[in-house]
Chains A and B, each alone.
Chain A
């Protein structure tokens, strides 16, 4: 089960933050097909938001075909992104950790590390070079 958190200064609406967090958990394999999303009551009791905000987020995820509501039981993941990448993600995460460690040793602060990563990512080729 995942826990949601809200960033009130991000400028992203709470309902969109929930949608993004579910999608990100699906991409990273923290949520998989068959898993249940936390109930609306559970979410609002944790992060103090309006129940309709959670329902709206779940409806959007349902509309995109990622989750399905089973009346009286809960909302479940029925579809995910490419699950075959989960194994590769572990090694990729490890090499990123090594890279971040190097960046810190070189004296970069958090914001510089993030800026460098995002900048490199944005300007890298969008297709595989064959």
Chain B
């Protein structure tokens, strides 16, 4: 099976600050991937590296088994919609499609025309006069009509109202059902992605916190609630992601392939949002510890 994206120790540094570090990922093709993390976590940096708009400071990266932006063919296999779905506000929709046809050898004019018609848009209209949702749909149309094998979408729905968001994701799913295309979309809103994605990557504090098939992640993560106690007593196969204690009660989010059989714990399953929050919490805790240990050393 080919990889949609394969990264080994990938890092990107701006000046002295690492926007992305020790990023190791192997995302299989054919998935709809949620790239989730707080603002500034490195999501856009990773996507820009994958398109070839940025070059790595360390490590290596292949996308669809090729080096990003290494050839016209490689560029043609990737559709990219940048944050805030930029279009040329002075140009008409028809001019956008003309430009797409001129710039892409694999352009599917029929697909582009049909999608604009289905969206009920007038090709003569200027892009600057479109609503946020329509602009996002135009940008998606341009990215799809080049018939890419991989679609990279940076925060595609963040600025859309709930209805436009739903319509955008519905059309994206139609495209996935109809064409053989992998999708990686970044977002800091998890609720929207839960239904549409089947693979999750959580980025926080410039690092990959967890990645994998969502079904598998949900079946191996549990929330445990029980009387207050130390968490060192778990077998080695149980990894504690996050925990909190009150005087009498301990709550912990753990990863374990084996079921938790200790009757002292009541075991609950997690939603994708719970899972993401637990890993973000873990990253934040590690960051604070780092700051504390640095402060203590001075």
Contacts and interface: CB of A to CB of B under 8 A. Distances in A.
B176 interface: yes
Q: Which of B176, B178, B195 has the most chain A CB atoms inside 10 A of its CB?
A: B195
A48 B198 contact: no
A48 B170 contact: yes
A39 B2 CA distance: 28
A20 interface: no
A41 B170 contact: no
Contact of B198 (A44, A47, A50): A50
* Main SS class of interface, B: helix
B171 A45 contact: yes
Given A41-B177, A41-B178, A44-B176, A52 B171 contact: no
Nearest to A15: B215
Given A50-B32, A51-B176, A51-B177, A44 B170 contact: yes
A66 interface: no
A48 B195 contact: yes
Nearest to B168: A48
B170 A45 contact: yes
Contacts of A50: 32, 173, 176, 195-198
Q: Which of A44, A47, A49, A52 has the most chain B CB atoms inside 10 A of its CB?
A: A44
B170 A47 contact: yes
Contacts of B198: 50, 52-53
Interface in A12-57: 14, 40-41, 44-53
A49 B195 contact: yes
B195 A51 contact: no
**Could you say which interface size class chain B belongs to?**
10 to 19
A87 B178 CA distance: 40
Contacts of B32: 50
A9 to B, nearest CB: 11
Interface residues of A, number: 15
A7 B191 CA distance: 13
A53 B174 CA distance: 13
Contacts of A14: 195
A25 B196 CA distance: 25
Interface string B157-192: 000000000110111011011100000000000010
A53 B173 CA distance: 11
A112 B297 CA distance: 63
A78 interface: no
A6 interface: yes
B195 A41 contact: no
B79 to A, nearest CB: 18
Nearest to A51: B177
24 contacts: A6-B195, A8-B191, A8-B194, A8-B195, A14-B195, A40-B177, A41-B174, A41-B178, A44-B174, A44-B176, A45-B173, A45-B174, A45-B177, A47-B170, A48-B173, A48-B196, A49-B196, A50-B173, A50-B195, A50-B197, A51-B173, A51-B176, A53-B195, A53-B198
